[in-house]
């Protein structure tokens, strides 16, 4: 697991990307998917995930429909049109951010000199 600081601000972009890719998913499914895809390195803790899903819904980024599975109710979330746009914005911001971080952090001016 990565340090808390590193994970801050990544939850939204991960959720939007996965929802865009899979069409609709429910909370538990999202957390399992992320754990699986990152070999356990990133955990969307439900104490973070559910409040985030509620906030994104309130903000018009997501909508959901409830589906009964036996006596249990799942909430399937999907992107709204605004959510699709927000996803694109966040993805390109993340792409650019990673590029910038690599430049600052991994410039390695002093190591691996050309022989």
Q: Does 17 bind a copy of itself (CB under 8 A)?
A: yes
The gap between the terminal CA atoms of the chain, to the nearest Å, is 37
Q: Does 22 bind DNA (CB under 7 A)?
A: no
Q: Does 69 bind a copy of itself (CB under 8 A)?
A: no
Binding partner of residue 34 among a copy of itself, DNA, none, CB cut-off 5 to 8 Å per kind? a copy of itself
| Residues 75 to 94 in contact with a copy of itself, rule: CB under 8 A | 91, 93-94
Q: Does 52 bind a copy of itself (CB under 8 A)?
A: no
């Amino acid at each position: 697991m990565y340090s808390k600081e590193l994970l801050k601000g990544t939850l939204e972009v991960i959720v939007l990307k996965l929802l865009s890719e899979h069409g609709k998913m429910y909370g538990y499914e999202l957390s399992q998917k992320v754990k699986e895809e990152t070999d356990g390195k990133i955990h969307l803790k439900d104490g973070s995930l559910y409040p985030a899903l509620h906030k994104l819904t309130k903000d018009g980024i997501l909508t959901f429909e409830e589906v009964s599975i036996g006596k249990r109710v799942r909430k399937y979330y999907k992107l709204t049109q605004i959510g699709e746009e927000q996803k694109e914005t966040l993805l390109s911001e993340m792409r650019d951010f990673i590029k910038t971080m690599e430049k600052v952090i991994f410039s390695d001016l002093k190591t691996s000199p050309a022989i």
